[in-house]
Chains A and B, each alone.
Chain A
Amino acid sequence: MRVDFTKPAGMQRKQYRDFVDGISPKPNVLVNVVWAFLVGGLIATIGQGLLTLFLALGLPVLEAGAMTAVVLIFSAALLTGLGVFDDIAKYAGAGVIVPITGFANAMVAQAMEARTEGLVLGVGARLFTIAGPVLVFGLVVAWLAGLFYFLFR
């Protein structure tokens, strides 16, 4: 008996949860991890190539890093617009989501879908659906770190 319907609701829920967990297919973690490692590594290596290039062109180290980010963001935004980013992500998973490319994709995907709701309340607002939380938490932590550094350096 999978779920005993004479039992109290709480116990039925637990029995049912175990039953569902047993029957639901699990993601193939090994395959996904290999994809994520290879694609994530590839994007990082392309980033390193850009970084090396910008340094060779004489940019200081921080500016070279920023320009690398700009190029990667441009590429991810373009691929999202062309409708291929989601096809890549289907296989590469975290390999394209965790790099800065995933951040750019999340912004453009939200915004382009909101185009039908207008430029201000649609595109303008929805660009920050995911970028907003990312900036909020990044800035709060960085601000706290800066404050502690100011007080206790």
Chain B
Amino acid sequence: MPAAKKLGQQTVFFQNPPAIIASGAVVGSKEAEGPLGKTFDRVIDDPYHGEKSWERAERRLLEDAVQIALQKANLSPQQVDFFLAGDLENQTEASALAARDLGMPYLGLYGACSTFYEGITVGAVLIDGGFAERVVVAVSSHCCTAEKQFRFPTEQGVQRPLTQSWTVTGAGAVVLAAGGSGPVVTHATIGKAIDLGQGDPSNFGAAMAPAATDTIVRHLLDTGRGPKEYDLVVTGDLGIIGRDLAEELLKDHGFDLADRFTDCGILIYDPQKQDTHAGGSGCACSAVVTAGYILQQIQAGKLQRVLGVGTGALLNADSPKQGETIPGIGHAAVIERR
């Protein structure tokens, strides 16, 4: 017998869709200078955020985003059932340290840059399942901790390939609740780790596009919906190249999304002025764009129904050296105006 709240192979639907009652988006100066600059709640100009290391700065960004969201919802951390968070540092340390300071019961998540949508999915499941009233989902990334973790020291002389993306410095948080006003999460599609043999750590878009495509196709088949039933399909951080690849792959599957398909990594920077090459990436990329721009557009009535697809490249610092290719992942959630 199929599960009561499951549709098709990979999609779940929520009987009482949890509402996103508040959100917080904190970014660095580069993101604030981008096209979406005005949609963020707070801008931190100092990459150190007044701390002695980038890692501490990232933790502070995450805490800031959570506190802004809680403040808007008029809640204290004690009124939150669970805190779901993740980031890109070793063993998601930024989230762990933020969880220590915030004092909420904490589930650490890792889905690389897809973590925000993974968190929304898990949070909505907890709420609709009756296990929680209020859940906070938050993720962070920092361009310097990510470069240090996955690529080269920031002061080392290297030429960034044109396929490379720029890691977003920032943090996004949302408060999901069983009741209350705000856009609701109606469906979620959990993606498969898909690998079409891309191994280049400077071209994440190419590694993730097949997984994003698979999740979108699976979502549409599971729900029986057509692309036209969505005002916007927005992926997390495929970037310019990854979005083009995914668009073509979707056509191969018989779905033409045309101009209702975009990507948070494309929205957040101006590649000509900001020298970001392929676009934005990182956990915070989909998080700050969703928690800022997209939710604002939904609340303003400009978008009715959005399919957000968090995308992640599942590598670590050693796997490319060991000759592994990079599996991609995509997790989708439907956010609807109510």
Which residues of A pack against B, CB within 8 Å? 1-5, 12-14, 16-17, 19-20, 23-27, 32, 80-81, 83, 85-86, 88-90, 92-93, 96-97, 102, 105-106, 108-110, 112-113, 116
Verify A16–B210 contact, CB threshold 8 A.
yes
Verify B163–A25 contact, CB threshold 8 A.
yes
B:179-204 near A, CB below 8 Å: 196-198, 203
Verify A3–B249 contact, CB threshold 8 A.
yes
B261-293 toward A: CB 8 Å interface, digit per residue (1/0)? 000000000000000000000000000000000
B:141-162 near A, CB below 8 Å: 148, 152-162
**Stretch from B130-138, B240-248, B330-338 that touches the partner:** B240-248
- Whether, in the assembled complex, B252 has its beta carbon less than 8 Å from a beta carbon of chain A, the answer is yes
Verify B55–A23 contact, CB threshold 8 A.
no
Verify A13–B196 contact, CB threshold 8 A.
yes
Of A3, A92, A112, the contact of B196 (CB 8 Å cutoff)? A3
Chain B residues whose C-beta falls within 8 Å of the C-beta of A14 in the assembled complex: 197
Verify B252–A3 contact, CB threshold 8 A.
yes
- Whether, in the assembled complex, B53 has its beta carbon less than 8 Å from a beta carbon of chain A, the answer is yes
Of B153, B155, B248, the contact of A19 (CB 8 Å cutoff)? B248
Instruction: Enumerate 6 A-B pairs (CB-CB under 8 Å) in ascending A order.
Output: A4-B252, A16-B198, A17-B196, A88-B157, A109-B153, A113-B155
The distance in angstroms between the C-alpha atoms of A36 and B283, with both chains bound, is 35
Of A25, A32, A109, the contact of B155 (CB 8 Å cutoff)? A109
Verify A23–B244 contact, CB threshold 8 A.
yes
The distance in angstroms between the C-alpha atoms of A129 and B338, with both chains bound, is 54
Given A1-B252, A17-B197; A89-B241 close (CB under 8 Å): no
Q: How far is the CB of B292 from chain A (nearest CB, A)?
A: 29
Verify B157–A102 contact, CB threshold 8 A.
yes
Verify A86–B245 contact, CB threshold 8 A.
no
Instruction: Classify chain B: how many residues form its interface, as a range.
Output: 20 to 34
The distance in angstroms between the C-alpha atoms of A1 and B248, with both chains bound, is 9
Verify A86–B156 contact, CB threshold 8 A.
yes
Which residues of B pack against A, CB within 8 Å? 52-55, 148, 152-163, 196-198, 203, 206, 210, 241, 244-245, 248-249, 252-253
Of A2, A23, A92, A113, the contact of B154 (CB 8 Å cutoff)? A113
Q: Knowing that A3-B210, A90-B159, A105-B157 are A-B contacts, what are 6 other residue pairs whose CB atoms are under 8 Å apart, sorted by A's residue number?
A: A24-B203, A81-B155, A86-B155, A89-B156, A109-B155, A109-B156
The distance in angstroms between the C-alpha atoms of A32 and B159, with both chains bound, is 10
Chain A residues whose C-beta falls within 8 Å of the C-beta of B158 in the assembled complex: 86, 89, 97
Chain A residues whose C-beta falls within 8 Å of the C-beta of B163 in the assembled complex: 24-25
Verify B253–A110 contact, CB threshold 8 A.
no
Verify B153–A110 contact, CB threshold 8 A.
yes
Q: How far is the CB of A105 from chain B (nearest CB, A)?
A: 5
Chain B residues whose C-beta falls within 8 Å of the C-beta of A13 in the assembled complex: 196-197
Verify B162–A25 contact, CB threshold 8 A.
yes
Chain A residues whose C-beta falls within 8 Å of the C-beta of B153 in the assembled complex: 109-110, 112-113
Closest to A126 in B: B153
Chain B residues whose C-beta falls within 8 Å of the C-beta of A96 in the assembled complex: 157
The distance in angstroms between the C-alpha atoms of A27 and B79, with both chains bound, is 53
Chain A residues whose C-beta falls within 8 Å of the C-beta of B160 in the assembled complex: 90
Given A20-B245, A24-B163, A24-B203; A89-B157 close (CB under 8 Å): yes
Closest to A13 in B: B197
The distance in angstroms between the C-alpha atoms of A92 and B192, with both chains bound, is 42
The distance in angstroms between the C-alpha atoms of A92 and B157, with both chains bound, is 9
Chain B residues whose C-beta falls within 8 Å of the C-beta of A20 in the assembled complex: 198, 203, 206, 241, 245
Verify B154–A86 contact, CB threshold 8 A.
yes
Verify B198–A17 contact, CB threshold 8 A.
yes
Chain B residues whose C-beta falls within 8 Å of the C-beta of A97 in the assembled complex: 157-158
The distance in angstroms between the C-alpha atoms of A85 and B159, with both chains bound, is 12
Verify A106–B198 contact, CB threshold 8 A.
no
Closest to B278 in A: A25
The distance in angstroms between the C-alpha atoms of A102 and B48, with both chains bound, is 27
Q: How far is the CB of B327 from chain A (nearest CB, A)?
A: 12
Closest to A91 in B: B159
Verify A12–B196 contact, CB threshold 8 A.
yes
Verify A85–B155 contact, CB threshold 8 A.
yes
Closest to A111 in B: B153
Closest to B249 in A: A3
Verify A113–B203 contact, CB threshold 8 A.
no
Q: How far is the CB of B19 from chain A (nearest CB, A)?
A: 37
Verify A116–B196 contact, CB threshold 8 A.
no
The distance in angstroms between the C-alpha atoms of A113 and B154, with both chains bound, is 8
| Residue of A3, A12, A85 contacting most chain B CB atoms (<10 Å) | A3
Closest to A83 in B: B155
